[in-house]
C-alpha cells in the first residue's frame, strides 16, 4: 500500500472499484489527473462521482484510454463532451440486469434457501 500522492505518478492503469464516500468523492480530481502519467488508462466500474469528469476533459490529450460505465450525472447526456474524447469506451453499468437475469437470480436464491432449510430439518 502506498499513499495516493505516491500512486498517481506511477499509475499506468487506474481502475476505480471502490465505494462512493465523502473520502472518495471526486477521488480522481484535477490535481490527481495532472499527476497521472501520459498514456495512463482510466477505468471506472464503481460510482460516477469518483471522477471529476471536468478533469478528464482538461487533460483530454494525455490519456491512453478511458472506460466508463458510470458517470457523474446519469444518464449521460447524448451531447456530453465526454463522448468526444479519443479512446473513450462507455458501457452500461447494469448491462446484465435484464428481467430474465433478475428472475434467474431470484429463483436460485429461493432454491438455495429452501435447500438449506430442508437440510436443517434432517
pLDDT single digits (tens) 2-52: 899 999 999 999 999 999 999 999 999 999 999 999 999 999 999 999 999
**Catalytic residue chosen out of the listed positions 26, 59, 60, 93:** 93
Give 75-96 pLDDT, tens digit per residue: 899 999 999 999 999 998 776 6
Are residues 72 and 116 both part of a single domain? no
CATH number, position 14: 3.40.50.720
**60 & 108 share domain:** no
Tell me if residue 59 is catalytic: no
Q: For 45-62, what is the mean pLDDT?
A: 96
Q: Cβ contacts of residue 103 below 8 Å, gap of 6+?
A: none
Q: Does residue 120 surpass a pLDDT of 90?
A: no
Longest dimension (CA), the chain: 65
- Determine the Cα–Cα distance for residues 116 and 112; give it in Å rounded to an integer: 6
Q: Is 74 a catalytic residue?
A: yes
Q: Catalytic pick from 30, 47, 108, 118?
A: 47
Element (H, E) at 65: strand 65-68
Q: Are residues 105 and 60 in the same domain?
A: no
Q: Which residue in the list 74, 100, 115, 118 is annotated as catalytic?
A: 74
**Structural domain total, the chain:** 2
Predicted pLDDT at 122: 45
Instruction: Answer yes or no: 93 catalytic.
Output: yes
Residues 60 and 38 in one domain: yes
Average pLDDT of the residues in 107-116: 93
Could you give the 3-state DSSP secondary structure of residue 13? strand
Q: For residue 55, give its domain range.
A: 4-91
Amino acid at each position: 500500500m502506498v499513499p495516493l500522492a505516491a500512486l498517481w505518478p506511477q499509475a499506468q492503469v487506474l481502475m476505480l472499484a471502490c465505494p462512493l464516500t465523502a473520502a472518495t468523492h471526486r477521488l480522481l480530481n484535477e490535481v490527481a489527473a495532472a499527476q497521472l502519467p501520459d498514456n495512463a488508462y482510466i477505468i471506472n466500474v464503481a460510482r460516477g462521482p469518483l471522477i471529476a469528469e471536468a478533469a478528464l476533459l482538461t487533460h483530454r490529450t494525455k490519456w491512453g484510454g478511458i472506460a466508463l460505465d458510470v458517470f457523474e450525472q446519469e444518464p449521460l447526456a447524448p451531447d456530453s463532451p465526454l463522448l468526444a474524447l479519443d479512446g473513450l469506451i462507455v458501457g452500461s453499468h447494469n448491462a446484465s440486469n435484464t428481467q430474465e437475469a433478475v428472475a434467474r437470480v431470484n429463483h436460485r436464491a429461493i432454491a438455495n434457501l429452501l435447500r438449506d432449510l430442508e437440510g436443517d430439518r434432517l
